[in-house]
Structure 1
């Protein structure tokens, strides 16, 4: 079983690329979505409340706006949150992987490299797009201000830093079609690992 780690900066289009992998019948583990789910489970919830106070939850659900406001402006708070969530996501991914029958899996994660999750995959796929394009996408998608996007970008690796770890790069600038890029990548992985 070959595990591909799929990552990219906010607004790069990694979720779109993940959907294309699914079209090729490759199971995808969405780490960010699972993290949101896990953060509402009792074990993690109690740790988050202990660290950030009861305000982190509103009517029994994680108050993502409250937490985002705290962590995207304070690196220590972000590190504390990541220290709570990332190990649990890692365990959840391992558990999920054990139930998959496919020869290739994808773990889609925004902070794959920064969280250390890169060590749980065999190959790293980085999705890139120009910063201006990414900003426009995030502002349209999340209904946030340019400054809020800048705050998020400032808490992430740059594409240049991410590319140092890349085994494969998917260009999502709009200049190349995505499906042929994913198809070529899968063909290469199958050749490299002698898969059918």
Structure 2
């Protein structure tokens, strides 16, 4: 079994690459989805209420938008959130991989290395895109307000990625798909 990470800054095009891979029949574990699932668990809710208060809840569910507003405006609170969620995400992903009999599994996430999942990856593909294009994608495609999108980009500014392959996503879907197919032949 081979484990391939897909990483890059927010808005770089990781989800687009993941969608292409799924369409080709590959299994892709999305770290954002894993994180969202964890936020629904009672144990996680209790921990986050302790550190971030009841203001992040509505109808006994964590409002991700409220939590995001807090953590993307305060680096220390973002680090605290990550220290709570990352070990849980890492364990969930490792368990999913253990239970799978796929030949290749892809992990899609900006923080693969920070979570510690890089240690199980055979290869990492870095998706690169200009900051201008990333901001535009976050605002136009994901409907994130400009200020919040800038905060997300700023929160990732100091992340340095280690990778085996790079795809530059500034020139459209056809270009990145060709690049991805070339990489798939090498792995």
| 1:169 and 2:163 are equivalent in the alignment | no
Note if contact 2:90-2:116 (Cα within 8 Å) is conserved in structure 1: no
Offset of residue 9 of structure 1: 0.8
Corresponding position of 1:137: 137
Q: How many residues are aligned here?
A: 186
Structure 2's unaligned 5+ residue stretches are none
Corresponding position of 1:194: none
Corresponding position of 1:40: 40
- RMSD (Å) for aligned C-alpha atoms: 1.6
Runs of at least 4 residues of structure 1 off by over 4 A? none
Offset of residue 158 of structure 1: 5.7
Note if contact 1:111-1:156 (Cα within 8 Å) is conserved in structure 2: no
Offset of residue 12 of structure 1: 0.7
| 1:184 and 2:171 are equivalent in the alignment | no
| 1:81 and 2:81 are equivalent in the alignment | yes
Corresponding position of 1:105: 105
Note if contact 1:27-1:100 (Cα within 8 Å) is conserved in structure 2: no
- TM-score using structure 2 length: 0.92
Would the alpha carbon gap of residues 15 and 21 (structure 1) be closer, same or farther in structure 2, given more than 3 Å must change? same
Distance 2:97 2:150 in 1: 34
Note if contact 1:30-1:107 (Cα within 8 Å) is conserved in structure 2: yes
Correspondences of 1:111-150 after superposition (within 5 Å): 111-150=111-150
